[in-house]
Chains A and B, each alone.
Chain A
Amino acid sequence: MRVAFGGYRAGFWWYMGAGLALLLAFAGIGLFRGAVPLEGSDVLIVLARHLLPGEHGPVDPRVDAIVWALRAPRVVVAAMVGGCLALAGAQMQGLFRNPLASPGIVGTSTGAATGAVFALTFGLAGGFLLAAPLFAVGGALLSLLIVTRIATRDGYTPVTTLLLAGVALNALLAAVNSWLIARSWEQYEAARRIAYWMMGGVTDRGWVHAGMILPGMVIGCAIAVWFARDLDLLLEGEEVAASLGVDIERAKRAVLWSAAILTGSAVAVSGVVGFVGLVVPHLVRLLLGPVHRRLLPAAFLTGAWFVVGADLLARTVAAPQEVFLGVVTAFVGAPFFLFLLVRHEGEVAVSR
């Protein structure tokens, strides 16, 4: 693929094909490689047993457990988390007309973290597996509700006010999170779980986690696709969008809720995985241009392979120790973000 910074645009279908190939390649490595060395043929048999109809050869139940209960859901959850975060990031960058906005810019990812931390500190998660993820999604939606309530006057929600309210809520919730963690310091187990969760990762995620993120992903993606064209017009400013037929308040609300659902669902199962939602959509926009009907699916796919690949790194760079996924994405993402910052000095202004 040629580098796009000169103004060259990659073909959409070529880009999607390459992305799909990368996703499958990373997923394959994720299934065949791991802490326990396995025979490639055994892995294939396990996959065939679960995915293809009919009888497939005998396999050690321990091998089956490693491949199907540990490695496969981990890869799938990583792909889902990456896709959701990148898609939500692309939506927020479009809505705020700022190529450097992140999925949680209106406070949703910090709100999701607060929800989960709350559930973990008060021991709710011990009794009920779904408590932390549900509280996380609830936290994300509640944050958005608060921010939009604050920013709305007479049925009109200016995005700049929304952004400022989001920044304030982010700071407030981060403080709440710190306080909750400090409170739980004596309960070693709870503190450890929170710390693990905050670092972000898909270690030991099972099919149940894939099931948790799925409804939010489907709903979020459906809304995102339905309002993709509205985002194109909103890039040109609300006045122009309205004059060309966009119901701007409805479009803004739909995009905000869609991104909040996607972000909340992702954070609920993987904790805070940073920079995916910021860097991936920006990169895809540079490659494919700003039309959201292409940008959104491409960002989803790119986020998926990026996180599956990053998780692969997280598992292998310091094997048998695992590095946190959030650490890996930040290690790759932050330098790239700085590079964009230096390169696009004029576009970094928060509002315009």
Chain B
Amino acid sequence: MTTAAAVPAAPRLELEGGGVERRGRWLLRGVDLVIEPATLISVVGPNGAGKSTLLRLLSGAWRLTEGRVLLGGFDLAALPRRQAARRVAYVPQTVRPTFEFTVREFVTLGRYPHESRLFGTRSADRGWIDRCLDDTDVLALAERRVTTLSGGELQRVLMARCLATEAEVLLLDEPTSNLDLAHGLDLLGLARNLVDEGRSVVLVLHDLNAAARFADRVAVLDAGALVAEGPPADVLDPDLLRRVFSVRAVPLAGSAAPVFDFEPLP
């Protein structure tokens, strides 16, 4: 997969002392995280660790109970939503759509922050939509209903919608969970390309080895707290993995990245 035109360098995205409380429970607390421009950072952690919550905070979709998110030095919450949406895009975990948009209409929703209220999408927008559809390999599906897509097709369509925003920071929640091996690798490759062009990508991944291979940095969440963050080689070690994931991690030889074979604890 190739990618469309280059985008200006991504702004720095920072979470300072971020915390969210919902119904008396802290889903995330005291998290400091910096996403440097042109970085692919992978967020890992066991179920319920707060990975999706972290992405929602970074996207501005959820308000913080404490702390703040800074985009290029400006408080994200104080930024008008449309402006923020032009810079930061968020793809939630795949949910089956219920309304019968065509793929093209669905991807065009991503143009919202650029559209005029009265005149809607213009021809320049339409050209950009075509490129996004092409980049994610779904141009042939353009006139299909989103309700009829397979999980993998839908995932790529969601990715196309995310690219349609032209945002420089992309937040992707488990983008590979519905994809077969080849499409999963394609998607990670696409993310890598986007980063090499100057964008920043935050990926929630369950596959630690994929995180180690594709990401510049890894952030490990456990029970709503950030327990480690840094380059994969520094962060991913058997001790930490045993503590956070309750597995025995056996390093695999012959790879530059810190990849492991996982076994259940006795």
Contact = CB atoms under 8 A, between A and B. Distances in A.
A245 interface: yes
B97 A236 contact: yes
Nearest to A247: B81
B61 interface: yes
Contact of B95 (A237, A243, A290): A237
Nearest to A98: B98
A229 B99 contact: no
Contact of B102 (A246, A289, A293): A289
B59 A293 contact: no
A204 interface: no
A226 interface: yes
B94 to A, nearest CB: 11
B115 interface: yes
B8 interface: no
Contacts of B165: 244
B100 A229 contact: no
B117 A235 contact: no
B112 A243 contact: no
Counting chain A CB atoms within 10 Å of each CB, which of B60, B81, B113 scores highest?
A: B81
Interface residues of A, number: 23
B109 A243 contact: no
Contacts of A97: 98-99
B145 A245 contact: no
Interface in B70-112: 80-86, 88-90, 92, 95, 97-102, 105, 109-110, 112
A63 B231 CA distance: 89
Contact of B84 (A7, A232, A240, A245): A245
B101 A244 contact: no
Interface string B52-63: 000010011110
A291 interface: yes
User: Interface majority SS on B: helix, strand, loop or mixed?
Assistant: mixed
Contacts of B60: 242-243
Nearest to A7: B145
Contacts of A244: 85, 89, 109-110, 112-113, 165
A53 to B, nearest CB: 33
B59 A243 contact: yes
B90 A243 contact: yes
Q: Is the interface of A mostly helix, strand, loop or mixed?
A: loop
A239 interface: yes
Interface residues of B, number: 33
Contact of B61 (A235, A243, A293): A243
Given A243-B90, A290-B99, A233 B109 contact: yes
Contacts of A236: 97, 99, 109
A243 B63 CA distance: 12
A347 B81 CA distance: 31
Contacts of A352: 98
Nearest to B82: A245
Contacts of B117: 226, 229
B264 interface: no
B101 A245 contact: no
B102 A347 contact: no
A347 B98 contact: yes
Contact of B85 (A232, A235, A239, A245): A245
B120 interface: yes
Contacts of A291: 101, 105
Contacts of A290: 99-101
Contacts of B110: 244
Contacts of B56: 239
Most buried by B among A236, A239, A243: A243
10 smallest beta-carbon distances between A and B, as pairs: A245-B85, A245-B113, A243-B90, A245-B82, A290-B99, A242-B61, A243-B59, A243-B61, A239-B61, A235-B99
Interface of B: 56, 59-62, 80-86, 88-90, 92, 95, 97-102, 105, 109-110, 112-113, 115, 117, 120, 145, 165
26 contacts: A7-B145, A97-B98, A97-B99, A229-B112, A229-B120, A233-B112, A236-B97, A239-B92, A240-B92, A243-B59, A243-B88, A243-B92, A244-B109, A244-B112, A245-B81, A245-B82, A245-B85, A245-B113, A246-B112, A247-B80, A289-B100, A289-B101, A289-B102, A290-B100, A290-B101, A293-B120
Given A233-B109, A233-B112, A235-B98, 4 more contacts: A236-B99, A236-B109, A239-B61, A243-B59
